[in-house]
Amino acid sequence: MIATFLLTAFPLAFGQSGQFQPKPGVFPATGDDTIAGGIFCIPLNDLPKYTADTPSGGTGSESPKGNGVVTSGSGPYPAGMTIDPNLPKHTIYAPKNPPVNNLSMPFISWGNGACMMDGSQYRNFLTEIASYGYVIAADGAPTGSSGTGSQSKVQDSRDSIDWAIEGGGGKYGVIDTTRIASAGHSCGGLEAMSVAYHDARVKLMMLFNIAIFMDEKRYLLQELKAPVAWFVGGPKDMGYLNAQKDYALFPSKLPAFIASLDTGHSGTYSATNGGKFGKAAVAYLQWQFRRNETAKAICQNAKAQGSLVSDKWNVTYKN
């Protein structure tokens, strides 16, 4: 099912000076907004309004029982967290040494929960992904600010994409700038969606525990051109029901994937190697960016060894 809301024969794109006000048929030129998270987000003060009827909050049966330990990831390329002076206000996750044989590494721009400028907030999870041969730039310096007065904006994600395309990550190895993903948790996920909007450089979106809050903004989905995956935490997650709405309205010809695990909104990011969310994210990326058939089976085939379904994920996909 695809929703089409057009008041004119062609989309009307415009630059905005204030907070974006959705109106069917009106399309901003970019995903930028005056609020954190961009055009797909809502002001933080409006959160109670849009979650009042959602049975969200708390943890689930698959939530970690405490924080895990910091490792170099479980992948073949031990990874770590660092900073790069050429990309201020960000934290880099990458293999500690450039992989041999000039392995081509996709790039991921990452937005944090609550759009916080703390690049170490998802250290276990992002290190795990990097250890499979990915370079990631997370918003904010390590142990950066966690106050709402310094939330990230869409431009922060765009800055990291510009950095990658301009060769800023060359010292970490060979970055494949034809395989760029925008990703993030909660508010950071909506930032990832917003930076992908009208930016053809982004080839994949990964949205964790989040989807569009406002029904009035769902018409914007028709402007997205990259495949998308939602990883949500079951009925206690405020992203759960909205992800189902977005999935139903996502452009019909684009691949879309939803995986849900009973964790509530907080996922398993703090567990060793990012827990089950870490495993799922790696499998999805290996399938999408490296066309790895084993990873594809893990995501799609309930009977495959190590499948997401065997890890108690509920999985839905199309295309």
Q: Is the pLDDT of residue 110 over 80?
A: yes
Q: Which pLDDT score, from 0 to 100, does residue 45 have?
A: 87
Q: Which pLDDT score, from 0 to 100, does residue 3 have?
A: 28
DSSP 41: -
Average pLDDT (118-137) is 98
Instruction: State the total domains in the chain.
Output: 1
Query: Is residue 17 in a domain?
Result: no
Task: Write out the residue range of the structural domain in which residue 218 sits.
Answer: 22-57+69-318
For residue 125, the domain's CATH number is: 3.40.50.1820
- Contact assessment for residue 148 and residue 44, using Cβ atoms and an 8 Å cutoff: yes
pLDDT tens per residue, range 69-82? 999 999 999 999 99
Which segment of 31-45, 76-90, 196-210 scores lowest on mean pLDDT?
A: 31-45
Q: Which pLDDT score, from 0 to 100, does residue 5 have?
A: 24
Q: For the chain, what percent of residues have pLDDT higher than 70? A: 92
Q: Which residues contact 293 (CB under 8 A, 6 or more apart)?
A: none
Query: Is residue 248 in a domain?
Result: yes
Instruction: Tell me the C-alpha distance between 33 and 16, whole Å.
Output: 8
Residue matched to tokens 């992203």: 239
Which segment of 23-27, 261-265, 291-295 scores lowest on mean pLDDT?
A: 23-27
Query: Is residue 261 in a domain?
Result: yes
Q: Which pLDDT score, from 0 to 100, does residue 20 have?
A: 83
Query: Is residue 2 in a domain?
Result: no
Query: Is residue 5 in a domain?
Result: no
Helix ranges restricted to H, the chain = 47-51, 123-130, 154-165, 187-196, 240-249, 275-290, 293-300
Q: Which pLDDT score, from 0 to 100, does residue 56 have?
A: 62
Over the chain, what is the mean pLDDT?
91
Residue matched to tokens 């998270």: 37
pLDDT tens per residue, range 45-67? 888 888 887 766 688 999 999 89
pTM: 0.92
Average pLDDT (11-25) is 63
18: left (phi over 0), alpha (psi -120 to 50) or beta: beta
pLDDT tens per residue, range 143-162? 876 555 689 999 999 999 99
Q: Which two tokens stand for residue 176?
A: 């494949």
Q: Which two tokens stand for residue 199?
A: 């930016």
Which segment of 5-19, 90-104, 132-146, 161-175 scores lowest on mean pLDDT?
A: 5-19
Identify which of 221, 281, 268 has the alpha carbon closest to the alpha carbon of residue 246.
Answer: 221
- Contact assessment for residue 205 and residue 227, using Cβ atoms and an 8 Å cutoff: yes
Query: Is residue 188 in a domain?
Result: yes
Average pLDDT (12-20) is 53
- Contact assessment for residue 68 and residue 146, using Cβ atoms and an 8 Å cutoff: no
Instruction: Tell me the C-alpha distance between 62 and 96, whole Å.
Output: 31
Instruction: Tell me the C-alpha distance between 296 and 313, whole Å.
Output: 15
Instruction: Tell me the C-alpha distance between 150 and 140, whole Å.
Output: 10
Q: Which two tokens stand for residue 86?
A: 């050429």
Residue 207 confidence class, pLDDT cut points 50, 70, 90: very high
Query: Is residue 64 in a domain?
Result: no
Q: Which pLDDT score, from 0 to 100, does residue 86 have?
A: 95
Q: Which pLDDT score, from 0 to 100, does residue 1 have?
A: 25
Q: Is the pLDDT of residue 2 over 60?
A: no
Q: Which pLDDT score, from 0 to 100, does residue 13 have?
A: 37
The residue type at 11:
P
Query: Is residue 291 in a domain?
Result: yes
